[in-house]
Structure 1
């Protein structure tokens, strides 16, 4: 115990005494006096702040995981990003509301596990106006997600973001979006229509593949490239007008569009891409009978393979319907290229 100064009650002189004593004798007059009891120092440990939302695992503003079981989830304020697997396989969630301040739903990288991947009961998501980026595979496999409004600030949506959202019937695309990534709406079999803004320059591979109910699609001026299989298997498409800004069509871009009957192809197209299996841009379009196109490309046999338009065109031109070659001979004509006899 430390020493303290105590005044003698008899003579008033100050005495320095041990603070641990209960009594002492004045060094000046010899009178006894009581030593005041000293309070011991009390250490109060600092408590860690209590997490008011223990079901949310947050680090540096990023919601890394949700560990609750509520069907409706309100993400707390203060979150700036949703982690790449934050809600992965949360099959009990029906609705999620993200707060203002969230700027990003992080990308899943090379894997298939996006932030809401496998949320098979998720029906709606409210996104904040602060959101600017949606990562790859973010909502992949959310089979009950029926509609979503994407804020205008969103300028980037990763590959496969809505892949396999089989109940998705309506989407509002943001004006700031410049590209539709690969597989973005692939397999959205209930998607009936979508408005593409004039700022979009590229439509990625498989972007709308197997969107069987998609119809009334308008491809606006400004789009330059349409990737491989971009609209493959879109049974609902009946006519397509490609704008004069398109310079490249990917392999099999419109293959198996069974009800596509009219296509307008601009002279601006420089490339009908080949993916190794062939060009086959409109292959399998079994209703295609009208093609508005100036000069046919040299590989038109591959571009329009297995379409009724190609068959009718070849017959009208007096060419071999198998390879497009010319016939030779007088009485029994055979193709000078493939050798097959004329069959019409």
Structure 2
């Protein structure tokens, strides 16, 4: 009963700072706008919406053509009670599909979302295990956290360009999802958004996306191709990916290669770990830093080329990263490395450095990193500080 009461408190509001339409909990004093990120007073946001509606002729005339299965309050669909129906058509006049409105309804197979809907709230369709088709009309702006999480039968989604925000875990565990377009105005692919979508084979990253957050495509084991629509910055700071987060593509075991754009600056911890089909990778000059284990367990990787002086980091937590936080840990075939700072970062390339030991020893250099020795009696490598032991 308490959960139901909490859900039906969501009503329509409007952010008086940016103009975005919101689903707000009228029992709360304040909240944060998902569009502009600024705090607002709930009562004032509701009043702002009502004042706007009073002056909007089209809105006042829009009828609520819903039946008894739809529980609606002030244009917010707070719950659906059609427990036997396979096809659902959201009625006209709805602007917000409320939190958990259809959660766990396994009877639903097809959903039609009409024009006028602006927000699909958190968990709205989560756990709808038989939902295989959803039609989203132009006008939807926000898909909130966990909105379609666990919809294991969902195969294809076509997003309208009106979508501006997609929140964390929105499609996590949609294991049948084969095809999806990312809206062109999205700037952030959030945490775990497509994690575990094991049937997804191709993804195209729009020009405006600047960040792929942690675990965004982790465990997408069928993902074969990633296309970045913006490969070159051309001086436009508003376009091009800047950061690939921690574990973003971890265990994408079908990914045989990826062309990284020259707008990229940071590659996070374990970002491509376990991409066991990847054979070669080129790191653009724009990349400033790569963090621990970024390409660890890429067991087929044979060649890596650095276009610039990218810094590689070991990580500061020995318990988390162990004694050998190599960027290319367990890449046994990686024997071809082109990198201007390879001596300084010798630890990052275990297989390559091991293969160079005989050559280094023959030339009187450090067997580990190839650096020159200093000292007469006790010779010490000028690069890695290792003592000469041969």
Q: Same fold (TM over 0.5)?
A: yes
Partners of 1:120 and 1:340 in 2: how far apart?
Answer: 63
Partners of 2:113 and 2:73 in 1: how far apart?
Answer: 17
**1:292 and 2:305 matched:** yes
TM-score normalized by structure 2?
Answer: 0.66
Report the CA distance between 1:272 and its aligned residue.
Answer: 2.1
Contact 1:79 / 1:101 at 8 angstroms: preserved in 2?
yes
**Which protein has the larger Cα radius of gyration, Structure 1 or Structure 2?**
1
Partners of 1:322 and 1:193 in 2: how far apart?
Answer: 43
Report the CA distance between 1:267 and its aligned residue.
Answer: 2.1
* Aligned mate of 1:58, from 68, 72, 84: 72
**1:90 and 2:105 matched:** yes
Partners of 1:237 and 1:74 in 2: how far apart?
Answer: 38
1:200 is aligned to 209
Partners of 1:227 and 1:207 in 2: how far apart?
Answer: 8
Contact 1:154 / 1:177 at 8 angstroms: preserved in 2?
yes
**1:102 and 2:102 matched:** no
1:253 is aligned to 271
Partners of 2:163 and 2:294 in 1: how far apart?
Answer: 31
Partners of 1:65 and 1:135 in 2: how far apart?
Answer: 16
Q: 1:248 to 1:179 in 2, by over 3 A?
A: same
Report the CA distance between 1:126 and its aligned residue.
Answer: 0.7
* Aligned mate of 2:246, from 209, 228, 242: 228
**1:315 and 2:354 matched:** yes
Contact 2:65 / 2:92 at 8 angstroms: preserved in 1?
no
TM-score normalized by structure 1?
Answer: 0.74
Report the CA distance between 1:178 and its aligned residue.
Answer: 1.2
**1:137 and 2:152 matched:** no
Report the CA distance between 1:216 and its aligned residue.
Answer: 2.1
* Aligned mate of 1:302, from 315, 326, 339: 326
* Structure 2 portions without partners, runs of 5+: 1-63, 232-239, 315-324, 335-348, 374-379
* Aligned mate of 1:218, from 218, 227, 231: 227
Report the CA distance between 1:315 and its aligned residue.
Answer: 3.4
Report the CA distance between 1:268 and its aligned residue.
Answer: 1.5
1:146 is aligned to 155
Partners of 1:54 and 1:67 in 2: how far apart?
Answer: 8
The correspondence of residues 269-288 of structure 1 with structure 2, limited to 5 A, is 269-273=287-291, 279-288=292-301
* Structure 1 portions without partners, runs of 5+: 1-49, 109-113, 274-278, 329-333
Q: What is the number of residues matched between the two proteins?
A: 279
